[in-house]
Amino acid sequence: MERYGRRALVFDTSESVLGAAALGLVSHGIDPLYAGDEHELVLLARENRERIAALVVPGALSFERLDLILSRVVSLLPSGVGAVVVVAPPRRGSHVLALRDRGIRWVLFAPYDASELRFVVAAALAIGDALEPRRGLRVPIRLPVSLRHARATRTGEVTNLSLEGAYLALEEPPESGAALSLEFPIGERLLRVQAKVVHRVDESRPSQAEGRPGVGVVFEGLTPLETRLLEGFVRERVESFRL
């Protein structure tokens, strides 16, 4: 599993549950540091300036506290305010506009799951074109999938998706090397593709990274149109985490 060279600094106030949620980042290659108050936050940011590349804060912060944090910490981040993630802020239009006016780029609205938190923090840590779909970007998603294997049809859920393949959460996942026929929606279209199982996770071999039994698959024989549809869908998913 790839580990990120730089770390995320998580502001875990007593009023939030962000710290507990962020514990799961470790299993995805992201090593967070935690601060419980503004003084500790600034101290950690200064002491670890060469290692910290993202700041994660709870959306319940007042703008007064958020502005104080931004004024003291943002200058220490390589990407400045573009590396700040606000988690579970109010969805009110005025609140969202105020975040945008402050230059906040990444946001994760509630309800969210561990894979979505991991993705948006990784996005804040990313450099250059790491969020380019054509570079193998996998986005968290929840899509119903129907698959046919060995003359039997079953259902499952796509939990991450890229231009090259996907992870399918399934009960009794097929073995590595199995050939599958898949159908799942992307936007208003139903995508029908052939795929091959490249790795398998079952109850006896749990995976912290994947979380649920299932299979990782690669797509085979995609047409140019199918590739363009997938690329557009993945881009839209990335944009759902941006302000």
pLDDT band at 134 (very low <50, low <70, confident <90, very high): low
Q: In this model, does residue 131 exceed pLDDT 70? A: no
180/141 Cα distance (integer angstroms): 20
pLDDT on residue 9: 95
DSSP structure class, residue 81: G
63/227 Cα distance (integer angstroms): 42
Share of the chain above pLDDT 70, in %: 90
Helical residues (DSSP H) of 126-191, grouped into ranges: none
Helical residues (DSSP H) of 135-223, grouped into ranges: none
Overall average pLDDT of the 1-21 stretch: 77
101-110 pLDDT tens trace:
999 999 999 9
Query: E-strand spans in the chain?
Result: 7-11, 32-35, 52-58, 84-87, 106-108, 139-149, 152-161, 165-169, 179-186, 189-201, 214-220
CA 131, chain centre distance (Å): 11
Lowest mean pLDDT across 69-73, 79-83, 125-129, 204-208? 204-208
Tokens representing 156 are 């499952």
Kindly provide the b/e burial profile for residues 163-186, where b requires at least 16 CB atoms within 10 angstroms of the residue's own CB.
Answer: bbbbbbbbeebbeeebebebebeb
Question: What are the backbone angles phi and psi of residue 97, rounded to the nearest 5°?
Answer: -65, -40
pLDDT on residue 146: 97
- Provide the β-strand partners of residue 57: 86
Fold for 7-125, please state it: Rossmann fold (3.40.50)
Mean pLDDT over the full length of the chain: 89
Pick the more confident residue, 226 or 6: 226
Cβ neighbourhood burial of 202 (10 Å; 0-12, 13-18, 19+): middle
Instruction: Please state the pTM of the whole predicted model.
Output: 0.85
Overall average pLDDT of the 72-82 stretch: 93
Pick the more confident residue, 203 or 231: 231
- According to CATH, the superfamily of the domain at 137-239 is predicted glycosyltransferase like domains (2.40.10.220)
pLDDT on residue 204: 63
Q: In this model, does residue 164 exceed pLDDT 90? A: yes
Residues of the chain with CATH 2.40.10.220: 137-239
Q: Does residue 174 have a cis bond before it (omega within 30 degrees)?
A: no
pLDDT on residue 85: 96
pLDDT on residue 24: 78
Residues of the chain with CATH 3.40.50.2300: 7-125
Question: What are the backbone angles phi and psi of residue 84, rounded to the nearest 5°?
Answer: -95, 135
243/57 Cα distance (integer angstroms): 15
Cβ neighbourhood burial of 78 (10 Å; 0-12, 13-18, 19+): middle
191-216 pLDDT tens trace:
999 999 999 998 666 555 556 899 99
